Amino acid sequence: MDDFAEFASSWKERLDRKGERRTVPNIVYENVRFVLVGDHVQRLEPQKTPIDFLIGYVCTCFGKEWAEQELAKPQEQSHPFIDWYRKMRDYQREVQEQQAGPQDHVVAPASNPMRALVQLAWDLMLLENHAEIQDRLLTRLRDRQKFQGARHEVFAASLLVMAGFELTVVDETDNKRKHPEYIAKFRRTGEEIAVEAKSKHRIGILAAEGTAPRDPDRLRLQRLLEDAFAKAEDITLPLLVFVDLNVPAMGAPTPDATWINEITEDIQKALPVNANGKDPFAALVVSNQPYQRAANDEPRYQHECHLVISKKPKMGVRDAACLMALREASFKYANVPRTWEEM
């Protein structure tokens, strides 16, 4: 009982430090695992794994009624989340058949669709203490046509939370000026930056109409970057831009990598005519999640991320500590906990 009382006390302490929680408090008490989710407690069978918990959590976020409606739709109208879920269940059944036996759980590496679903679950979990942002994003995530852009915003927000930022949603009712997605405040130094997130839509991928080519000929980011850089005109803070490539696996971001050179070229092409030698952004986070578009039987892909820090920003950060924290978080981003001790 003392252990449970101590754990309950830690819940209140974590909730009082709203926005700082980056772990999921949990404990087994009288053969029940108690898990703190936001400001409420969830009960699980003790043999359930963190992955079981996260799958259940993200399904609850989307809602049972919504899921039933989406599952009833034809395959060609399938929502990306439902598509991941179906493929994950197919993979789980296949693994269970291969490992038939009395065990409660089977062990196998996560397939690409399963990883996509679990990563989304973990990202949303990290936003539990940012309810306004999570609710706003979930509304868009449920919309098939808005899912891709919203998914990238979830990535951006969760990475910022991991890096130690507090997020504030910007009031977009003022139509007289351009607005970023968020204002992010680095807790350690108080530095504030404006955050803009852009995702490249590609034919046939994540509900975009058409048949996807196996390999895109170019990244073609210029117009996307132009839209993002235009936000700097009305912003009085350093601008941090997140860009989602939405392409097959690109490989390590080495200086001579083709995709790194293409990004550099597109940045130069997207700079405003009146830039006066200054970049409109302080930093740019380029990411790619190839497992979101891959099948169960494809190689298991890794998250790819590259941070571009401007050497000549129109408005730079006062202290590079916030960008270094962001870089460190990007290295750890895809490390979803596999054990309860890691949560």
Strands 192-199 and 283-288: unpaired
**Whole-model pTM over 0.75:** yes
Q: How many CB atoms lie within 10 A of CB 59?
A: 16
What DSSP string describes 111-159? PHHHHHHHHHHHHHHHTTT-HHHHHHHHHHHTSTTTHHHHHHHHHHHHH
* pLDDT of 64: 95
* pLDDT of 276: 85
Question: Could you say which DSSP state residue 187 is in?
Answer: T
- For 180-216, write each residue's pLDDT tens digit: 999 999 999 999 999 999 999 988 888 887 665 555 5
3's torsion region: left (phi>0), alpha (psi -120 to 50) or beta?
A: alpha
* pLDDT of 13: 60
Contact 317, 323 (CB under 8 A): yes
pLDDT exceeds 80 at position 153: yes
40 or 73, which is more confident?
73
Contact 178, 233 (CB under 8 A): yes
What DSSP string describes 295-337? -TTS-----EEEEEE-SSBSS--S-THHHHHHHHHHHHTT---
Q: Domain spans of the chain?
A: 2-113, 131-332
192 - beta bridge partners? 185
* pLDDT of 36: 82
